[in-house]
Chain A
């Protein structure tokens, strides 16, 4: 038996023994994920057990080095772990912005002390992070941000406003972009800084979305004093002062990679099961075809595109592991994933017809199809709009000229 086959056998046995039955529901949505953090309460005993067992194996962050709480797996081993996890429809034991965004950026840019503190906290599910990038005047044009950060000797003084900060109200720490030089060209005066959301001067206000719900906040930063250092060589700033744009971009590539490989397409709202679902709801005609030819065609097309997309995630991941990473191609996955995600719930709404448009007396229920359908409109906006992904693909992948 080769080493990889041996690893697969071991992983399969481990998952079989350790993943509770309740965590094998395959329906992986934002609502039933384990997010961790100081305010986190497990939704069930099974979720807690699953998290703790995975943690003890380093499987909350399988490819991170063991010293930071990972399992130190190779890319190939991680793929096997993921395949075997998906084969039994198991949820991820822990899922948050720290794992998918900040972690990789810290691995690339952090000092040993920063890594030791923050990566370990993420791996152990102790600290939940939020992303302080966007501002009212700096969305797609992120580098236009104006939140001001002044050097006050032993601390930084921060003033400004962030917007769209997902889950700011329930997060422990923030990774934030601030301006440390207003005179430099806009990309060269930005600094990447980390601070505790419990620091005095921070207030958050929820933003209600068209779905009626609000995991998002406006974040106001009013004379926030951030210590320069959280211990020896553990600065609040990651990378160099005024050179935070490099860190920010690195993180965005990971964010888009994560968004582009996310699983909303695989759950029950995804296109994969739409045909069967529609056949049950609508019925078949005498020749065995779905009794709504136009809808049938749209479903087939979505399933076909979804299939090709999933293969592309697999191929690009294999290519990235064999070469130099995903790079700007993550924008292709991000774009494709957001369009498919939207189409999935749009079609589901069509299949269910008016039934799906009925909401309860208390409004749109969180986690309902209507809620997901409305929320999914945001996929092609958050993490950079589709148009911005197109700009990136044109310039970074295709090398087309600028105006």
Chain B
């Protein structure tokens, strides 16, 4: 396995670079932030992306997708991270598609994958129940009733939760809070009257929602994967999410670093370009090296998902940890090295700083993943 992109993936990257710079640059995101549309993104643009095969990027061709795998998804996410492009790509094309493609029945695949690929159907994954990511600690209940289940409970920070057509909910069918056994994934329609969705505007101006479910009756057909054994599937979906989020953060970090080095080359103080000051040069050189480390970690996690999905969990975790650290450093340094202009709303670097903060909280920050790695390694 070579740790570089192949020709096809490079072409995808070029196409994404060109398309996003034209149709969904930071200015477009800023407009969404300021005009506050109900969806939180532009539907027409999403359909256009779907037509290019992006919505079904990891979906196999037999189900209407473009079959590019996770490296392909990462290539797109990186460019979206560079442009802060708002779209349901992450919630639907990464989390939703992974859940169904990897763990769904044939019937579930038929009913959902084509609809994801065409951009018709939006998905959201509801996992966390508190302010910090903790997929083991699930109390959301699914009680057996009749030939199905009754779902009740609350979820927080569900990306695109308020616009999704379908929800994947991690619920407890047995066991105690903290047990990994006894968790089951349910695929439900989001507009059932028993579901109340409240949008929670985030500091990065992205879509997230609190979801409260009160006595929703579902049949056994709603189960995605195994009854009581959903934790493994959840880990798989989260791994994919972590790797692709890392790719997005990597894109943001690289973009912000590029903007910063450009600024260092043109801004003058004390009669010189500020980029000639060693105090800034050495920090930039350190950051540039860290960015290279981050890029390798991200690519490795995506390649591992494509090569051996079930065993990619730890590399995805490590990638998320490393990327969280480096992307935060990159955005902080970007603000600092810009001086006063860096903390103005008008200037873009602050938008990246906010987005990276939220993205690195999502599905576990560096501390969460470091701890996970250490435990997995026996210490």
Contact = CB atoms under 8 A, between A and B. Distances in A.
Interface of A: 275-276, 278-279, 284, 288-290, 296-297, 299-301, 303-305, 307-309, 311-312, 314-316, 318-319, 322, 329, 332, 335-336, 387, 389-391, 393-394, 397-403
A84 to B, nearest CB: 14
Contacts, number: 123
Contacts of B318: 304, 307-308
B377 A276 contact: yes
A401 B292 contact: no
A290 B370 CA distance: 13
Contacts of B284: 393-394, 398, 400
B296 A296 contact: no
Given A311-B300, A318-B3, A332-B289, A400 B265 contact: yes
Contact of B292 (A288, A316, A403): A316
A303 B373 CA distance: 9
Top 8 A-B residue pairs of the complex, sorted by shortest distance between their CB atoms: A393-B285, A311-B296, A394-B281, A308-B293, A390-B285, A315-B3, A400-B275, A279-B379
9 contacts: A275-B374, A275-B379, A290-B374, A300-B374, A307-B322, A315-B296, A332-B288, A389-B285, A399-B261
Contacts of B261: 398-400
Contacts of A402: 276
Given A279-B379, A308-B293, A311-B297, A400 B3 contact: no
Contact of A398 (B285, B322, B378): B285
A364 B261 CA distance: 46
A309 B296 CA distance: 8
A interface secondary structure, majority:
helix
B374 A315 contact: no
Interface in B332-379: 370-371, 373-375, 377-379
A402 B265 CA distance: 10
Given A311-B297, A311-B300, A318-B2, A390 B282 contact: yes
A369 to B, nearest CB: 20
B272 A403 contact: yes
Interface in B257-306: 261, 264-265, 272-273, 275-278, 281-282, 284-286, 288-289, 292-297, 299-300
A314 to B, nearest CB: 5
B281 A391 contact: yes
Given A315-B299, A397-B288, 17 more contacts: A276-B379, A296-B379, A299-B379, A308-B293, A308-B322, A316-B292, A322-B2, A332-B289, A391-B282, A391-B285, A393-B288, A394-B275, A398-B261, A400-B264, A400-B273, A400-B276, A400-B281
A300 B321 CA distance: 11
Given A300-B374, A399-B265, A290 B379 contact: yes
B15 interface: no
User: For A279, A300, A318, A399, which residue has the most chain B Cβ atoms within 10 angstroms?
Assistant: A300
Contacts of B374: 275, 289-290, 296, 299-300
Name the residue in A311, A315, A389 with the highest tally of chain B Cβ atoms < 10 Å from its Cβ: A311
Contact of A304 (B3, B275, B296, B370): B370
Contacts of B322: 304-305, 307-308
A137 to B, nearest CB: 22
Contacts of A300: 370-371, 373-374
Contact of A401 (B275, B296, B371, B377): B275
A390 B284 CA distance: 8
Contacts of A390: 281-282, 285-286
Contacts of A312: 292-293, 295-296
Q: Tell me which of B294, B300, B375 has the highest count of chain A C-beta atoms within 10 A of its own C-beta.
A: B300
A256 to B, nearest CB: 13
B378 A319 contact: no
Nearest to B297: A308
Contacts of A399: 261, 265
B11 interface: no
A285 to B, nearest CB: 10
Contacts of B4: 315, 318-319, 322
A296 B373 CA distance: 11
B142 to A, nearest CB: 29
Interface string B86-113: 0000000000000000000000000000
B379 A278 contact: yes
Given A391-B281, A394-B282, A400-B276, A276 B378 contact: yes
Contacts of A305: 293, 322
Nearest to B375: A288
B321 A304 contact: yes
Contacts of B278: 391
Contacts of B288: 332, 393, 397-398
Nearest to A311: B296
Contacts of A288: 375
Contacts of B3: 311, 314-315, 318
A378 to B, nearest CB: 20
Nearest to A334: B289
A301 B370 contact: yes
Contacts of B273: 400-401
B282 A387 contact: yes
A28 B74 CA distance: 36
Among A301, A336, A389, A393, chain B packs the most CB atoms within 10 A around the CB of A393
Contacts of B373: 300, 303-304
A254 to B, nearest CB: 19
B336 to A, nearest CB: 16
A336 B297 CA distance: 15
Contacts of A290: 374, 379
B265 A401 contact: yes
Contacts of B321: 304
Nearest to A291: B379
A95 B275 CA distance: 40
B370 A297 contact: yes
Instruction: Name the residue among B277, B286, B294, B295 with the largest chain A CB count within 10 angstroms.
Output: B286
A278 to B, nearest CB: 6
A342 B157 CA distance: 41
Contact of B276 (A275, A332, A393, A403): A403
A311 B2 CA distance: 11
Contacts of A309: 293
B304 to A, nearest CB: 11
Given A311-B3, A329-B292, A275 B377 contact: yes
Nearest to A309: B293
A315 B319 CA distance: 15
A312 B296 CA distance: 5
Contacts of B296: 308, 311-312, 314-315
